[in-house]
Amino acid sequence: MDRPNRPAALASTPGQPESQVQTTSSDTRVSATLPTGDSVEVLLYGATVTSWKTPARENLFVSSAAILDGSKPVRGGIPLVFPVFGPAPAGSKLPQHGFARNVKWEFLGKSTSEGESSVKLDFGLSWATLPEDWRTKWEHKFGLVYSVTLAPGSLSTALVVSNEGDEAFEFQSLLHTYLSVDDIQNVQIAGLDNSPYIDKVPSATAKTQSGLIAFSGETDRVYSPPTPPSDPVTVQEGGKTRFRVVRDNLPDVVVWNPWVEKAAGMGDFEPKDGWKNMVCVEAGSVSAWTKLEKGDVFEGAQTIYAE
């Protein structure tokens, strides 16, 4: 699929000396560190990014009570939502947000850029490797490849979905990114002005954004910006840019913060005042269903820049 903003593949350069990019892998997680000190860690359960550090700080929020033993999805980091966003449609056997974040993925390997300024980690999941109980809940034959690319000051995540069966299927997908901030009450989000959105608090109401997004209570919104995905969504704190999120072939942006009462009601959300230190800015394709015919492929990606 030819797209102008498609993330470039990284290939090892023959004849280069032993890599200065440090990687470790086990049967539970994979991590990589660049010579600059930037690092990333990915839990194989759900292919969930659980840490992304630049030399200055950790950029992702992960609950101190997050379950990391593969028994339930991780509260924080970047969980993958597929093939359904939110509650499944009537008649479906799938749980909320589907199964991609609920199963163990395979680590497919790494590649580094020439000069070793970047490293790409690839993960895979398919219908053939899906546990039997999940196959009975979603019977479509599919393939997923998830690429996590670490570069100085940025992290890119790209999901490729292929239809490997004989019948078409529909799906939704989302990169459920929890960004770390110092104080949500000092945070504003730019880049979504004039965007229509569905406000889920207190009920699904159609609205249009006017100006910057600010936070003073529980926030759960699905934005469908009229501007191209390549136009950045910017997270500002104290008037200064903290993150820029650039999407590729992902038309929607979910903005979420649980605030006091919802955080208090989530058993795996700690500390209970941790809502002050996070904001979810989630690139996805969730306002409509994406249909894949036999043999078709879909790719969506985001790049997050830490300022």
| Closest alpha carbon to 304 in 49, 19, 12, 28 | 49
Beta bridge partners of 224: none
The one catalytic residue in 41, 97, 237, 282 is 282
The one catalytic residue in 41, 176, 237, 299 is 176
User: Is residue 270 flagged as an active site residue?
Assistant: no
User: Is residue 282 flagged as an active site residue?
Assistant: yes
CA angle 164, 222, 229 (to 5 degrees): 65
Whether the CB-CB separation of 253 and 192 falls below 8 Å is answered with yes
Is 96 annotated among the ligand-binding residues?
A: yes
Cα→Cα distances 219→39, 87, 185, Å: 30, 18, 12
Q: How many CA atoms lie within 13 A of 298 on its CB side?
A: 24
Question: Does the N-terminal peptide bond of residue 202 adopt cis geometry, omega within 30 degrees of 0?
Answer: yes
Q: Where does residue 15 rank: exposed (0-12), middle (13-18), buried (19+ CB within 10 A)? A: exposed
Q: Where does residue 210 rank: exposed (0-12), middle (13-18), buried (19+ CB within 10 A)? A: exposed
User: Which residues are CB-contacts of 215 (< 8 A; sequence separation ≥ 6)?
Assistant: 184, 185, 187, 257, 259, 279
Which positions are catalytic?
176, 282
Give the residue numbers of the binding site for substrate.
75, 96, 101
